[in-house]
Amino acid sequence: MDRRHSDLSPKLGSRSSADADGLLYGPLRAAPTAPDGCFLIGRAAQSLDGYIATRDGESCWISGPEDRTHTHRLRALCDAVVVGSATVRADDPQLTTRMVTGANPVRVVLDTDRRLSAHYRVFEAGPKTLVFCAPDAPGGARVGAAEAVPVRRGTTGLDIEAIIETLGMLGLRRILVEGGGITVARFLKAGALDRMHVTVAPLLMGGGVPAFALPPVNRLSEGARFSWTAHNMGADILLDIPLTRRI
């Protein structure tokens, strides 16, 4: 699939649109180089003190309108957008490209045990939607207008490698892992991301849902350090972080 047609004309900060296109979106336009032919980008928007939602789950909107437009561009450049069931339950997202010019990606919801009902907007008629679930999960072949797709279990939730394999077999090779924090952290911990786009908003929350639900390290030397390029995104800062996939 080729969905590389989003409107990239607005400037990002002080960079020209051509610079922004090359630095931010170029890797998604290039042919994936991994042996499986897939390219995965993780996405998060967090407060200055590292939270993506309040304790009650409110997350709309931590970042500003420019950053939300950027998220829609990423969707338009990808074949599939992946979210966990908690994100659907908390935000009831549409996962479309309505803010930019470009095709909607296939929407993929990870719902291991089929606990989501069909009343959420992502399960209504519209862009194609898939529910990845465990083979032994209850329920029929569909959740609303969405098709149920069995994927083997891992130690926690669905197996990350099996998720990528299934997406690839379906011809979905540019994959945006959009949320939430637990889902993005599982892909990051598994070494399953090629890139991360993390937006930091000038907002202090004092507590809430952490951006990355990862096990703590005992020493600073054990923590993962990354290189990044910072871009102004309206009032926010976008960090473009290249990674090396291990699976």
Encode 215-233: b = buried (16+ Cβ within 10 Å), e = exposed. Answer: eeeeeeeeeeeeeeeebeb
Is the separation of the CB atoms in 238 and 70 below 8 Å? yes
Confidence of residue 184 (pLDDT cuts 50, 70, 90): very high
| CA 107 to each of CA 75, 142, 181, 239: distance values in angstroms, whole numbers, following the listed order | 10, 14, 18, 25
- Kind and range of the H or E element at 198? strand 195-200
All structural domains of the chain: 36-206+228-242 (3.40.430.10)
- Spatial separation of the C-alpha atoms in residues 111 and 207, rounded to whole Å: 27
Residue with tokens 């990870």: 110
Residue-wise pLDDT for 8-50, tens only, equals 333 344 444 445 667 788 888 888 888 899 999 999 999 999 9
Query: What is residue 169's three-state secondary structure?
Result: helix
Written as one letter, the residue type at 190 is A
Query: What is residue 1's three-state secondary structure?
Result: coil
Long-range contacts of 112-115 (CB under 8 A, 24+ apart): 112/85, 112/137, 112/153, 112/157, 112/158, 113/137, 113/138, 114/138, 114/139, 114/143, 114/148, 115/85
Residue-wise pLDDT for 105-130, tens only, equals 999 999 999 999 999 999 999 999 99
Angle at 67 between CA 224 and CA 164, to 5 degrees: 50
Is it the case that residue 4 has pLDDT exceeding 60? no
